[in-house]
């Protein structure tokens, strides 16, 4: 199998799903969490806490396993899509950990990166200094991987916001390669920031990619921003209303993080002042909106019940057979 490229996921697909722009946009909804998931996160504190815990564990892999941000992002994508198809049983705190390990493992396999189950678990428990930490053996992790693969219908070559950056940048017709790269880098960083934001889960990857790029444009090229905006809004695949809505959420996210960083700097040293650049922007244009209803329809009660029973069976077996208590955190 060819190495998976998160920024260009269609290049290795069969000829009937060739690397075309239309194929990219038409396939993106298959790689999103269901719309039900977004609604659930708005009403359930348990699922919000579960997701926050999972993302925190995934991000720790950067330090314990030297995983790059793209692999972590892919693991978060798998995790969100899995939870959107599952009813996660409460009262089993170890589920989030084995799910995270499985998602990281699958992401690392797709990116052809080495990932050690045992190193990640040992380092994670030491960092968190928790006596209740579990160690999962390879068979338990592999069984969870199969549950994730089943829930995702084996669609592992995820289409993410990164997949659309090159396409949207090409619309700007920039002549300076270093500036083009700087624009891509800034948009990429914004997308990484956005992975934690629940309010952004309802938007398609293309909308998130376009919004991040426009936000980066306004920061780096404020005078040229109107022409950049027009270029994106004139694209037939882009929905103006959705991009505007996503952009506003994203701008608020960036501003909030900026304010928090300022507070941290002031708290750490009242005698030092660091100038901060203020990010600001505006955006927009059109694409069919039928995906949310389509996605919601795909998560049928029957399908959810089948997958719920599979996860429940995994929990019942793993809690007695496949999980050993980690005895020492020292």
What CATH number corresponds to the domain at position 179? 1.10.472.10
Q: Looking at the structure, tell me whether residues 113 and 203 fall in a common domain.
A: no
Statement to judge: residues 27 and 148 lie in one domain: yes
| 232 or 280, higher pLDDT | 232
57 and 145: one domain? Answer: yes
Q: Note whether residue 118 is domain-resident.
A: yes
**pLDDT (mean) for 295-302:** 51
Of residues 213 and 63, more confidence is placed in: 213
Domain end, chosen from 204, 231, 264, is at 264
Rounded to an integer, the average pLDDT of 105-128 is: 77
* Domain final residue, candidates 118, 152, 186: 152
Q: For residue 194, with 0-12 CB atoms within 10 Å meaning exposed, 13-18 middle and 19 or more buried, which class applies?
A: buried
Q: Tell me the C-alpha to C-alpha distance, in Å, between residue 140 and each of 101, 160, 169.
A: 10, 29, 43
Comparing 299 with 82, the larger pLDDT belongs to 82
Same domain, 97 and 199: no
Q: If you average pLDDT over residues 236-265, what whole number do you get?
A: 85
Asked if residue 195 and residue 97 are part of one domain, the reply reads no
CA 10 to chain centre: 18
In a domain, 11, yes or no: no
Q: Report in angstroms the alpha-carbon separations of 42 from 125, 145, 153, 199, 284.
A: 30, 27, 26, 9, 25
Say if residue 33 is in the same domain as residue 111.
yes
Lowest mean pLDDT across 85-94, 237-246, 300-309: 300-309
For 47-82, the pLDDT digits (tens) are: 999 999 999 999 888 776 678 899 999 999 999 999
More confident residue, 135 or 12: 135
CB 120 within 8 A of CB 101: yes
Tens of pLDDT along 273-290?
A: 544 443 344 443 344 444
Q: Both 218 and 240 in a single domain? A: yes
- Residue 23: domain span: 18-128+135-152
| Per-chain mean pLDDT for the chain | 77
Tell me which DSSP letter residue 30 carries: G
Instruction: Say if 289 falls within a structural domain.
Output: no
Do 26 and 45 lie in a common domain?
yes
The pLDDT of residue 280 is: 42
Flag whether 189 is in a domain.
Answer: yes
Let me know whether 58 and 184 are in one domain.
no
Q: How many domains does the chain have?
A: 2
Q: Which of 14-28, 184-198, 216-230, 244-258 has the lowest mean pLDDT?
A: 14-28
Q: Encode pLDDT of 159-202 as tens digits.
A: 999 999 988 988 887 888 888 899 999 999 999 999 989 989 98
pLDDT at 183: 92
- Residues 147, 176, single domain; the answer is no
In a shared domain, residues 139 and 95? yes
The answer to whether residues 54 and 107 belong to one domain is yes
**147 lies in a domain?**
yes
pLDDT at res. 34 = 84
Q: Quick one: average pLDDT of 243-264?
A: 84
Residue ending a domain, among 234, 264, 294, is 264
Q: What was the pLDDT predicted at 262?
A: 72
E strand or H helix that includes residue 192 = helix 177-194
Any domain includes 319 = no
Domain-embedded: residue 171: yes
pLDDT at 297 over 70: no
313 lies in some domain: no
- Residue 103's pLDDT band (boundaries 50, 70, 90)? very high
């Amino acid at each position: 199998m060819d190495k998976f490229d998160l920024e260009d996921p269609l290049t290795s697909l069969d000829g009937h799903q060739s690397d075309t722009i239309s194929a990219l946009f038409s396939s993106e909804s298959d790689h999103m969490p269901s719309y039900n998931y977004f609604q659930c996160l708005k009403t359930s504190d348990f699922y919000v806490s579960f997701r926050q815990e999972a993302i925190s564990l995934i991000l720790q892999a950067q330090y314990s396993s030297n995983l790059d941000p793209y692999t972590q992002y892919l693991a978060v994508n798998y995790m969100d899509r899995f939870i959107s198809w599952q009813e996660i049983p409460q009262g089993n705190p170890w589920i989030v950990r084995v799910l995270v390990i499985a998602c990281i493992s699958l992401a690392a396999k797709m990116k052809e990166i080495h990932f050690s189950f045992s190193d990640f678990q040992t380092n994670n428990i030491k960092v968190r200094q928790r006596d209740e930490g579990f160690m999962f053996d390879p068979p338990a992790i592999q069984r969870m991987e199969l549950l994730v693969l089943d829930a995702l219908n084996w669609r592992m070559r995820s289409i993410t916001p990164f997949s659309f950056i090159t396409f949207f940048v090409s619309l700007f017709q920039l002549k300076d390669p270093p500036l083009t790269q700087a624009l891509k880098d800034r948009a990429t960083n914004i997308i990484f920031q956005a992975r934690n934001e629940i309010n952004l889960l309802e938007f398609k990857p293309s909308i998130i990619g376009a919004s991040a790029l426009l936000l980066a444009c306004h920061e780096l090229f404020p005078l040229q921003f109107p022409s950049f905006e027009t270029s994106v809004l004139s694209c037939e695949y882009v929905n103006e209303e959705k991009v505007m809505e996503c952009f506003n959420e994203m701008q608020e996210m960036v501003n909030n993080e900026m304010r928090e960083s300022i507070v941290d700097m002031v708290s750490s040293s009242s005698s030092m002042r660091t100038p901060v650049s203020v990010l600001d922007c505006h955006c927009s244009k059109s694409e069919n909106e039928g995906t949310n209803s389509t996605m919601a329809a795909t998560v049928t009660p029957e399908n959810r019940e089948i997958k719920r029973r599979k996860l429940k069976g995994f929990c019942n077996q793993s809690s007695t057979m496949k999980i050993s208590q980690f005895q020492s955190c020292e």
